[in-house]
């Protein structure tokens, strides 16, 4: 086809007349006048990702239908850890080098990477179980006829592997800026590919988008399976949950495909697979700051507020039940008293392959030691969640006639029974929770912990009048004191690690040094007043070049701190006086900080803050007392509880507050909307009688 010729009009010749063919009944119309060219559209500026994530105010959206978690769900599946790369360092067995296959070497490396002074190998009893489980699984993975199939653990020497891993850690620590930048870029690439999901048109962060790598199972507390081999999971073992209209995510591992793809809007998880240790399903979920978790949290705390409106009637119910004619009702009432007043978890049956931790319904006779005849005292001692010791001496007379009746009931329940027998033989978590739901729709035993923690915090926080003229730091200490009372109530302990003790020691040394520096300043002020200012030592003018490695950086930082009170030029009396005042203020802050950390070193303030205390109490208190919320909540908690940030300063954790919002009648309580709880239970394979899992993150204490 020949190329079109140039328009004749361009050469000065009139263009030929255009001819329009018209159907009968149509009138000829002139050609449309061409519009002037439109200016090109400029691209809209992209918002930073954190702002996009924060823009979704899900609490202002109308709720979905009951039982429905989402209408549209789209994500890219999961990322998987790289395959193992052998290092070739041999195992020493009975003094001889033993070359290992890549599969055997990987498992041996898992063990060599466990710190000898850590919780698994640093405790003799735990180390015995951990090592035995590891060695058994390691040998089981070896083929028949393998030279180590009948080996003995005490002849294995992992020292060369440990030295190699330590060297590898040092190399990683000494990485160049370019290597660190490359690692950061790869981490960001993986996050942007797998760490985001689109839920009902909104962008949300995924919590655990990287498949758990293989390794040795640690377990919480004194777990009997600690040390067992946690096998590598592949895409073929994973079920992906997405919307029907969404594109199925591409499997990221060549040669594999997803095990299954489903479209279930009734569950909140994105992917699921079964782990081999406990043969339980695990889940990839949206992050703690997501709308899914936020809705669940809000409903949890609203339910605790609803309990506050019914607590008097519920307490009257179990107080009457303490004298019931049937043993089952007396046990129900006594268990309810323990859960309410001592903040015990409800407990559940444990198998032989699970840690021997107990709750209220699984207390055994051996856990109770009654005081001398004529007293109403008892020592309650058992291992609770995560094998944390609960040990408390209870004087039941402090609770009046009701407490005395509880003591009498417990004595009767234990009478004639063997130490290993259960105290509450007529009830279990299911029957207890069914009874609670007959008193308040949606109520379960775990709601009492949330209610008591939140109510305790609200009662313990000092009023605005009591905090007048206090510094922000002093107000934060008062908040931590109230938080500590909640942690003690809920038995939220933490082990004081060597690193924590070292940090206290360092802080104490810094306090002592600041005292010395202030004393120097006072001595120099005296010299200045005596006309001997020239005798005041001045700050050295040494090199200010940057340090090359971590040790040099530490030394440089220490030298700067030690000379921070000195002057480059001879100071005046006024300069010295100002610096003395500044050092006095600094010393007071450091002493308050040290005392606060010392008081809270054995209690976990973060656990109750994350899981049990209604965040709106803290936000409203901060607003009333002009305390920046950043001093109370770390960034992760501010993101998690973004829905709580808009409450007014006079907000209260009260049933009246909830009723004002929901127009709920105190006489006829409406059924609790437990969609979030039900979906969470469905997602995690739990029932009403199971305990809600607590998050273990420790928040940074400012």
Active-site residue list: 612
Task: Report the alpha-carbon distance of residue 661 to residue 646 in Å, rounded.
Answer: 14
Residues 6+ apart with CB under 8 A from 327: 426
The angle at the Cα of 533, spanning 529 to 537, to the nearest 5 degrees, equals 130
| CA nearest to 264, candidates 674, 682, 677 | 682
d(CA 121, CA 103): 23
Helix, strand, or coil here: 42?
A: coil
| d(C-alpha 190, C-alpha 82), whole Å | 13
What count of Cα atoms within 13 Å lies in the side-chain half-sphere of residue 686?
A: 17
86 contacts 105 by C-beta, under 8 angstroms: yes
399 neighbors 406 (Cβ within 8 angstroms): yes
Do residues 504 and 496 touch, judged by C-beta distance below 8 A?
no
Question: At residue 241, what are phi and psi to the nearest 5 degrees?
Answer: -115, 120
* Helices and strands: H and E segment counts in the chain: 19, 15
Among candidate residues 359, 493, 467, 376, the one with its CA nearest the CA of residue 422:
359
3-state secondary structure of 97: strand
Nearest of 48, 63, 58 to residue 642 by alpha carbon: 58
**Bridging pattern class, strands 202-205 and 91-93:** unpaired
From residue 406, alpha-carbon distances to 260, 445, 656 in Å are 53, 18, 31
> How many whole angstroms separate alpha carbon 682 and alpha carbon 685?
5
387 three-state secondary structure? helix
Burial of residue 4, with CB atoms counted within 10 A of its CB: 0-12 exposed, 13-18 middle, 19 or more buried = exposed
Cα separation of 639 and 655, whole Å? 26
Residue with tokens 């004194």: 222
Is 413 in contact with 334 (CB distance < 8 Å)? yes
Helix, coil or strand: residue 45: coil
Phi, psi of 206 (to 5 degrees): -95, 140
**Long-range contacts, 474-479 (Cβ 8 Å, 24+):** 474/592, 475/625, 475/627, 476/596, 476/627, 476/631, 476/632, 476/702, 477/592, 477/595, 477/596, 479/618, 479/621, 479/627, 479/632
In DSSP terms, 369 is beta-bridged to 379
Residue in 114, 228, 121 with CA at minimum distance from that of residue 165 = 114
- Tally Cβ neighbours within 10 Å of residue 282: 19
């Amino acid at each position: 086809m020949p190329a079109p010729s140039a328009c004749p009009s361009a050469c000065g010749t009139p263009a030929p007349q255009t001819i329009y063919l018209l159907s009968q009944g149509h009138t000829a119309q002139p050609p449309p006048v061409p519009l002037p060219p439109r200016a090109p559209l400029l691209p809209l500026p992209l918002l930073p990702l954190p702002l996009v994530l924060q823009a979704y105010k899900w609490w202002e959206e109308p709720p979905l239908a009951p039982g429905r978690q989402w209408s549209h769900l789209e994500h890219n599946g999961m990322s998987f850890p790289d395959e193992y790369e052998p290092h070739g360092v041999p195992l020493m067995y009975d003094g001889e080098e033993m070359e290992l296959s890549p599969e055997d070497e990987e498992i041996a490396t898992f063990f060599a990477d466990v710190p000898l002074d850590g919780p698994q190998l640093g405790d003799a009893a735990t180390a015995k179980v951990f090592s035995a489980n590891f060695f058994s699984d390691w040998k089981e993975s070896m083929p028949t006829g393998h030279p180590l199939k009948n080996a003995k653990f005490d002849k294995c020497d992992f020292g060369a592997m440990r030295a190699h891993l330590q060297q590898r850690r040092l190399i990683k620590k000494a990485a160049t800026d370019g290597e660190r930048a490359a690692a950061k870029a790869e981490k960001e690439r993986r996050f942007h590919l797998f760490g985001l999901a689109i839920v009902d048109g909104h962008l949300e962060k995924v919590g655990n988008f990287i498949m758990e790598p293989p390794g040795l199972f640690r377990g919480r507390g004194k777990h009997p399976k600690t040390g067992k081999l946690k096998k590598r999971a592949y895409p073929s073992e994973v079920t992906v949950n997405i919307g029907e209209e969404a594109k199925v995510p591409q499997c990221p591992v060549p040669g594999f495909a997803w095990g299954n793809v489903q479209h279930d809007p009734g569950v909140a998880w994105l992917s699921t697979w079964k782990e081999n240790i406990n043969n339980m399903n695990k889940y990839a979920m949206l992050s703690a700051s997501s709308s899914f978790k936020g809705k669940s949290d809000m409903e949890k705390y609203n339910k605790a507020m609803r309990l506050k409106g019914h607590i008097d009637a519920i307490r009257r119910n179990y107080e009457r039940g303490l004298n019931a004619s049937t043993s089952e009702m007396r046990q129900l009432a006594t268990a309810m008293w323990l859960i309410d007043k001592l903040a015990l978890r409800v407990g559940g049956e444990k198998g032989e392959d699970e840690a021997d931790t107990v709750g209220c319904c699984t207390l055994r006779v051996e856990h109770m030691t009654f005081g001398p005849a004529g007293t109403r005292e008892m020592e309650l001692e058992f291992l609770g969640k995560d094998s944390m010791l609960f040990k408390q001496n209870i004087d039941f007379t402090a609770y009046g006639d009701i407490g005395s009746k509880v003591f009498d009931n417990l004595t009767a329940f234990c009478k004639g029974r063997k130490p290993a027998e259960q105290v509450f033989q007529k009830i279990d978590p299911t029957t207890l929770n069914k009874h609670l739901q007959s008193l308040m729709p949606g109520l379960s035993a775990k709601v009492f912990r949330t209610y008591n923690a939140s109510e305790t915090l609200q009662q313990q926080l000092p009023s605005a009048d009591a905090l007048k003229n206090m510094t922000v730091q002093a107000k934060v200490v008062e908040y931590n004191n109230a938080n500590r009372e909640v942690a003690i109530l809920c038995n939220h302990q933490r082990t004081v690690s060597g690193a924590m003790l070292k940090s206290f020691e360092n802080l104490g040394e810094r306090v002592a040094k600041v005292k010395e520096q202030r004393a120097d300043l006072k001595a120099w002020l005296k010299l200045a007043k005596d006309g001997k200012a020239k005798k005041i030592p001045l700050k050295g003018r040494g090199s200010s070049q940057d340090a090359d490695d971590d040790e040099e950086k530490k030394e440089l930082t220490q030298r700067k701190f030690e000379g921070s009170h000195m002057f480059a030029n001879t100071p005046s009396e006024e300069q010295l006086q100002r610096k003395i005042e500044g050092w006095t203020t600094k010393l007071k802050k450091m002493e308050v900080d040290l005392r606060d950390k010392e008081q809270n070193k054995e209690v976990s303030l973060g656990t109750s803050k994350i899981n049990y205390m209604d965040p709106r109490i803290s936000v409203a208190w901060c607003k009333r007392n002009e305390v920046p919320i950043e001093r109370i909540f770390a960034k992760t908690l501010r993101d998690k509880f973004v829905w709580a940030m808009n409450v007014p300063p006079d907000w209260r954790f009260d049933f009246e507050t909830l009723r004002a919002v929901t127009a709920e009648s105190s006489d006829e309580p409406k059924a609790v909307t437990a969609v979030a709880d039900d979906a969470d239970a469905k997602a995690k394979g739990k029932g009403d009688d199971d305990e809600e899992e607590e998050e273990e993150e420790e928040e940074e204490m400012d």
